[in-house]
Structure formats: structure tokens, C-alpha cells
Chain A
Amino acid sequence: MSEANSPVIRAHALDLTFQTADGPVHALKDVNLEIAKGEFVSFIGPSGCGKTTFLRCVAGLEQPTGGTISVNGMTPDEARQARAYGYVFQAAGLYPWRTIGRNISLPLEIMGYSKADQKDRVSRVLDLVELSGFERKYPWQLSGGMQQRASIARALAFDADILLMDEPFGALDEIVRDHLNEQLLALWARTEKTIGFVTHSIPEAVYLSTKIVVMSPRPGRITDVIDSPLPKERPLDIRDSPEFIEIAHRVRDGLRAGHADD
């Protein structure tokens, strides 16, 4: 029986070494992290710091070469088979031959939900990402930001407690990104999911997260974990507040410290 504040994701001394033609690459080295239920955790760091690799380990898409990691008290592979999480990739990856509604019901079909249940869930998550009325449209008829929202709806459709997002807004412009960040926070507040969010952007990480994990490359490791003192309610102009700027500074310092090791 898991208590309310026992960690949903727990990594201990996690190591992952890729064997490449140029020799071994230490993607992750001695990563220790605990994520509690309902947290919004951002992973930030330069390319090659292992933030995406860590997320993929949580999802059971990569096998660690050392250490332990558990998701909902299971191994990542068991959690994947139990469909414990929804995963949002950098590209929306909607099927061009399916309408938005049928794209969102894709995981539901695979998981064997009934037709009626599929219909209910599709309209509910479309509402959640503010895409009601676009159910019968094809992906090419939507803007990039709308496509990414549809892909978030697809990840939400089967009600997994955990949402893993790998630079979901990385390919979008600043204004669309701000809007989607705001929407994501509202969605997080309504659904109370545990979110793991990979990003390159310091303001995005600070604005969204309750916990910011700063990582650095060669070998990929955690250099700082910052618990955000910002309130849960966050209007966009919170980014001009002294607290926000202070955390952003600390993140930047952490990133710089990681680089100083080179």
C-alpha cells in the first residue's frame, strides 16, 4: 500500500552506458532521484546530459546498465505493460491517415476499451486540451501547437497517473509555447498527475515545475535539485517576480557549474 507521499518514481545509483563505435558513452552516471505523487518535475540541461535518456529509462524504453529504478513500485517494464504512464514526444507524431479523434483513440483501441468508452474519453480529453470541435479534422488541418495539444490528449486518454513529456514544446515558437505552458499548468491542476518534463528552456522549467532537476553532460548526471517555492497558482507574469528570477539564477548557476567541470 503506497502512502500519499511515498515516491512514484525512485531511481537509485542509476547508470546507463551506451556501447558505440567510438567507445562507451556514459549517458547516465549515479543518478539518484525521488519523485512524489502529484509533483511537476522538470529536467533541464544541455544536449547529452541524459535528461531524455532518464525519461526513457522511466518509460522502460531504455534499459539501465546499473542501479535500480522503480515506477509505482514496479520495474519500468512492468509499469509500461501496466500502462502506468502517457508519453509525449517532441514531435506530435499524429497519424496523417487518422482524424484527430481517431488519433486520440489509438491507445484506447490498443488497450481494448469499448467503443462507447473510447468516444467518451476522446471528447473528454479533447475538452481538456481545448480542442473540442476538431475531432473530425485531419492533423494537417491543424497548426503545430494544436497538433502537440492533440498528442497530449492522446497521452491523457487512458488516464495514466504519470505523464512523461520529452521537450513537447521544443519545436514551437515562444508565444505558442507560453500559451501551452499556461494550459499545461491548468491541466496539471485539474488532473493531479505526476509529470516528468524535459526541456532546454530555463523560464519554462521554472514556470512549470515544483521540482527542477539540473543535469550536466559527460557523464550525464544530476548537479542540482531545486524545490520551487512558487505557489501552485501561477499567472504568466509570475515570471517577473523576484522569487522566479532567483530560482532562474540558481538553475543557470547549476548549468554553469556542470560546464565548469569540462
Chain B
Amino acid sequence: MAHVRTAGPVLVVVAAIFAIWYVAVIPMNIKDAITQAERAGATVSPEGAQARRDMSAIGLAVRNTAVIPATYALDRPRLPAPHQIAAELWDTTIDKKITSKRSLVFHGWVTLSATLLGFAIGTAAGILLAVGIVHSRAMDMSVMPWAIASQTIPILAIAPMVIVVLNSIGVQGLIPKAIISAYLSFFPVVVGMVKGLRTPDAMQMDLLRTYNANRNQTFWRLRLPASLPFLFASLKIAVAAALVGTIVAELPAGGGRGLGGRMLTGSYYGQMIQIWSALVMAALLAAGLVFLISLIERISLRRLGLAS
């Protein structure tokens, strides 16, 4: 029942987004469409690119209604229509062999593999740092400020340096991208995990003291299980951050490989459709990863009796 009741509003929002998008395509592409129509011999108003230069896009669309259908079918639109992106996605995922350099499945996998490795490194580092921070006051004082500082530096500035430095010592391909991806994803894990490991209150800690429990027992039996809901919330943020990190790292990495590489070559050649389809692919990947973590979260919390 709940699904049926929420389906309506969700569909309305999606329909509104597509409607706005389709309307926006007309003014965004009208100048290019008129120029092409004029070259092909059609009559347009006013004639000559010079005369149209300072005119508003909406004004041009109103005066050249016959050209409007062409705004949805340009080879290199400024704003591609959703169906053009869908067609490009179909072409580059279903029709192309996945070994092809033009296959988005190939590029998607390049990005996904670096993202997963980076996410794994980031999560492991985040959990280890959090455990250290919770158990050692010195680490709390010394590591936490650096962790926060690390996130204030724009990743766009860090990524090329890491790529260049690692390249100079002969490390290329997956690893540099994974490191940048880990750099973005460890932080939410540290913050969430520190918070989670610290949730047991004084009474809970006293109870274990009355059993004369050691640190190890306190960690595995109390702190860790208490932190799991926080960990999963952090992991969802971390996996999305890992994907962003990988894509950013793929820009300076060169070679046009991965979704970041597709976006970069797309912008070199004015191929907005290529950029948008890489974006959609990245969004689908992120949604899939977050969904997967939600699933693991639900299963493990239910096993632990923390959710009904």
C-alpha cells in the first residue's frame, strides 16, 4: 500500500523534471539549429548569423517555430534532450562490445574498479583511525585535526599532484585513482565511526568495569556493535564520495579511460551527449552502490536484532 501511495508523487516529480528539461532544450539549441537550417537552404528569420547574434533565444524560437523540432536532433547540442542521451547510452552499453574503447560498460568498469578499491582502502583506514582515536587521547588530539584539514583542500588541486608524483615513481592506472578515491571516502567513515564507538554511555562502561572486562572485550562486545548503525550511514556517504574521487582522478590521469576520461574527451570535442551519458552512468553507479550498502545494512542490522 505504501508503495502505491508514494508512486504518484514520485512520478509527478520525475515528469516535471523531464518537462522542464524538454522545454529548456529549445532555447539552449535554437541558435545552432537555425544556423544549420539556414545552411541547408531553409528560410529563417532573421537571416544571417550576424543579425541573430544579439537576439534572445526565446525570441528566435518564437520567430522560427518550424526549426524547433531540429533542436531535439542536433549532432552536437549544447543541451541534449533526454531521448538523445538514452539513445547514446543504449548505443554505448548494449550495442558496443564491452571491450570497445567506446563502450560505457568498459569505462564504467574502469571507474567502478578504482572506486571499489578506493572505498575499501578508505573504509579500512577510516575504521582503523577511528579505533585509534577512541582509544588514545594522543591520537584524538593529533589525527583528528589533520583528517579535517585534509578535507578542506579541494580534491581538484590534490588529484593532479598525486597522479604526477605516483607516475614519476612508476605507479599508474588503478592505484593512483584508488588512492584519491580513498582520500575522499575515509573521512565520513572516521567521523561516523568515532561517533558510533563513543555512543556507549558511562553506565554501559561501568557495567563492563564491574565484570572487570578488558579493552578488547569492551571493544568487540560493546563499542563495535553499538557503532554499526553509524558505520552504515557513513558508508553510504563514503561510497558516493569514492566515486566522485575516482572520476576527478580520471581527469588528469589522461588516456580518456573511465567515466572521468569520457567526460574530459567529451568536453574537448564539444560532445555534450557523451558527457551527459557518462554523467548518467556515474549517477546509476552511485545509486547502485548506495542501494547495495543499504541492503547489507538492512540484513546485518536485522541479524543483530537492531531492526525489526
Nearest CB in chain A: distance from B236 CB, A: 20
CB of A87 within 8 A of chain B? yes
Q: How far is the CA of A59 from the CA of B207 in the complex (A)?
A: 10
Report whether over half of chain A's contact residues are helix, strand or loop; otherwise say mixed: loop
User: Quick one: given A110-B221, A138-B305, are A93 and B211 in contact (CB under 8 Å)?
Assistant: no
Closest to A82 in B: B212
Q: How far is the CA of A90 from the CA of B207 in the complex (A)?
A: 11
Nearest CB in chain A: distance from B301 CB, A: 8
Residues of B within 8 A of A93 (CB): 203-204, 207
Q: How far is the CA of A64 from the CA of B225 in the complex (A)?
A: 34
Q: How far is the CA of A95 from the CA of B227 in the complex (A)?
A: 12
User: Quick one: given A98-B305, A110-B213, A110-B217, are A89 and B225 in contact (CB under 8 Å)?
Assistant: no
Q: How far is the CA of A103 from the CA of B287 in the complex (A)?
A: 38
CB of B50 within 8 A of chain A? no
Query: Does the CB pair A96–B305 fall under 8 Å?
Result: yes
Q: Tell which of A60, A99, A110 has the most Cβ of chain B within 10 Å.
A: A110
Residues of B within 8 A of A111 (CB): 211-212
Of A59, A96, A97, A110, the residue contacting B208 (CB under 8 A) is A110
In chain A, residues 94-118, which have Cβ atoms closer than 8 Å to a Cβ of chain B? Answer: 95-99, 106-107, 109-111
Query: Does the CB pair A81–B212 fall under 8 Å?
Result: yes
CB of A83 within 8 A of chain B? yes
In chain A, residues 69-102, which have Cβ atoms closer than 8 Å to a Cβ of chain B? Answer: 80-81, 83, 85-87, 89-91, 93, 95-99
CB of A61 within 8 A of chain B? yes
Query: Does the CB pair A89–B203 fall under 8 Å?
Result: yes
CB of B304 within 8 A of chain A? yes
In chain A, residues 8-61, which have Cβ atoms closer than 8 Å to a Cβ of chain B? Answer: 59-61
Closest to A87 in B: B210
Closest to A61 in B: B206
User: Quick one: given A91-B203, A93-B203, A96-B306, are A80 and B210 in contact (CB under 8 Å)?
Assistant: yes
Residues of A within 8 A of B222 (CB): 95
Query: Does the CB pair A89–B306 fall under 8 Å?
Result: no
CB of B97 within 8 A of chain A? no
Query: Does the CB pair B212–A86 fall under 8 Å?
Result: no
Q: How far is the CA of A81 from the CA of B211 in the complex (A)?
A: 8
Question: B82-99 CB contact bits vs A (8 Å, 1 = yes)?
Answer: 000000000000000000
Query: Does the CB pair A80–B209 fall under 8 Å?
Result: yes
User: Quick one: given A95-B222, A106-B221, A110-B217, are A85 and B306 in contact (CB under 8 Å)?
Assistant: no
Q: How far is the CA of A90 from the CA of B226 in the complex (A)?
A: 20
Closest to A151 in B: B207
Q: How far is the CA of A109 from the CA of B218 in the complex (A)?
A: 12
Q: How far is the CA of A98 from the CA of B303 in the complex (A)?
A: 10
> Considering the complex of A and B, which 5 residue pairs feature the smallest CB-CB distances, nearest first?
A97-B304, A87-B210, A138-B305, A107-B211, A110-B213
Can you list 8 pairs linking A and B with CB atoms under 8 Å apart?
A61-B206, A81-B212, A83-B212, A87-B207, A90-B203, A91-B203, A97-B226, A111-B212
Additional A-B contacts beyond A95-B221, A97-B228 (19; CB < 8 A): A60-B209, A61-B209, A83-B211, A85-B210, A86-B210, A87-B210, A89-B203, A89-B206, A93-B204, A97-B226, A97-B304, A97-B305, A106-B211, A107-B211, A109-B217, A109-B221, A110-B212, A110-B221, A111-B211
